[in-house]
Chain A
């Protein structure tokens, strides 16, 4: 059963040429795909259209999930809103209408899981880029969304944190996912991958991997 369907979608920013040109995609519940493309090909635009943040100029975007899609923006600073790391996580948990006791317990678990405990009382924007991205990821995953839209989710992480995150993701995260990368070397292992070029998606050549 599909959770997200893009039908013949085109998209453009005001007065600029179309960047997506009749793109179609159907994502099944729990299906996880990676999308690779050169800089400026419209990877982020595709994610914004899929999230409902940008209206397509043509075509249809259909969602079949009971919750809003969760999007991780490329710049983690754009989605950190609280004054401490702990509050950032707790805020997201409260959005899921959990009681205070559960919020505190789950937040503590998440902080440990993402190795953020030592930074829990710091202002998120005072952390390093890698740590900020971890906070944004931890908060996003707390929502337990059915559809995850990740724009280069571990680009700021160091190699060790990246490996930990990827192993956590493949072991624990079952949400349907679109995962954007810029390079073949960044493709998540074992994930189906497609290439975005000239405004449409195509399958990735075997020799590209």
Chain B
């Protein structure tokens, strides 16, 4: 890994957030997500993982604290229910909405890497793709935008073994190129497939972070993350 200065990192400094009328989701939450590394954010259902992603991408505003992003990062996020992002009636129209030919080419090549061939799906409604295919298509669309910071919310949900492997390959090569990938997940198969940094979220803030290899063999950590 090449040395990358901290200006390319994503940082949460003492961030707090609550939804209206609800209890706090994040309280004085701090973390650092270095570029060039795959980060897994894990933790029990409802602990605020998706909220963290939405705050990072600026979809919602935190109440206090600071979210620091690299300059010109314009982070993107693949949502947990990715079909919420589809705007048109066909795969080709979705691709045509991308800002330029370079993005379109990138999305197509990524789809091919996932064994999703454009000729087979071009005329299909993205909603007519299978659950797993829909997820892969949404990932390809977002990733093609070329952001330096990408948040993926449960990207491997509903994917078969081959696709998990392909997704891990892609994440690995993107991080080698300096992308800061933040993967919200509870999928131990994915974490075992590609090593990275694990961050356990719980009770409003991060409880532990460390290498995924250490996480996977430590029963206390797995329990803390409600992963087992």
Contact = CB atoms under 8 A, between A and B. Distances in A.
Interface of A: 13, 16, 37-41, 43-44, 74-75, 77, 119, 122, 126-131, 134, 151-152, 155-161, 163, 182-185
Contacts of A41: 130
Given A126-B19, A131-B45, A161-B45, A38 B226 contact: no
Interface string B35-68: 0000000011111011000000000000000000
Contacts of A77: 81
15 contacts: A39-B130, A39-B133, A40-B129, A43-B130, A44-B131, A74-B131, A127-B46, A129-B81, A130-B45, A131-B46, A152-B158, A157-B45, A158-B225, A159-B228, A184-B161
Q: Max chain B CB contacts within 10 Å: which of A75, A77, A127?
A: A75
A159 B227 contact: yes
Q: Max chain A CB contacts within 10 Å: which of B43, B46, B47, B186?
A: B46
Given A40-B133, A129-B81, A158 B45 contact: yes
B162 A38 contact: yes
Given A163-B228, A184-B161, A128 B131 contact: no
Contacts of B162: 38
Given A129-B45, A156-B157, A40 B130 contact: yes
B113 interface: no
A189 B155 CA distance: 25
A interface secondary structure, majority = loop
A130 to B, nearest CB: 3
Given A74-B131, A129-B154, A134-B45, 6 more contacts: A126-B19, A126-B22, A128-B46, A128-B49, A158-B225, A183-B159
Contacts, number: 97
Nearest to A14: B128
A183 B193 CA distance: 14
Interface in B77-107: 80-81, 83
A128 B189 contact: no
B80 A159 contact: no
* Contact residues on B (Cβ < 8 Å of other chain), bracket: 35 or more
A39 B160 contact: yes
Contacts of B133: 39-40
A156 B132 contact: no
Contact of B44 (A126, A129, A158): A158
B163 interface: yes
B164 interface: yes
Interface string B204-228: 0000000000000000001101111
Contacts of B128: 13, 16
A15 to B, nearest CB: 9
A179 to B, nearest CB: 14
A43 B160 CA distance: 12
Given A44-B130, A159-B222, A183-B164, A39 B186 contact: no
A76 to B, nearest CB: 9
Contact of A159 (B19, B22, B81, B226): B226
A158 B160 contact: no
